[in-house]
Structure 1
């Protein structure tokens, strides 16, 4: 996986995903084919990328907007959205 999105709220969810990405080296095979995930699913980091004060400020601003202003939580803390996600994944597996 290559992380291409962060702090994303997919349509239909009341929570946010900290990360979204595409399969390496294939990339985005079709429009909006993004895999969303949380930090516990990350098992190995190959390359961290560039991080400076601007990056840290971005993270704080996103958390302020999503958590404090919009009162959202990460999907891993929402039983309702996790259940919806599981149903969605099961349906996708049936296709």
Structure 2
């Protein structure tokens, strides 16, 4: 199994621990939100990350967490089948529910 796969327009870390309908929605929303943001505009990126979190909370019940950056590590505890880590261009995005 490859470490990453191109799914719904994003480079997604495998294995994937999220149902397809939620995965498709969170990737589509994230791609659309981040598509025109300059990589070095941290203030705008923070606002968009908040919008992604609010979108996930509204559409898939709270409580979701969204982390984004170009170089970070993580160790998180999450609800089963509610975690995804993917890349939009050179920006990593991690979305999970607790």
Higher strand share: 2
TM-score by length of 2: 0.28
Higher helix share: 1
Give the structure with higher Rg (CA). Answer: 1
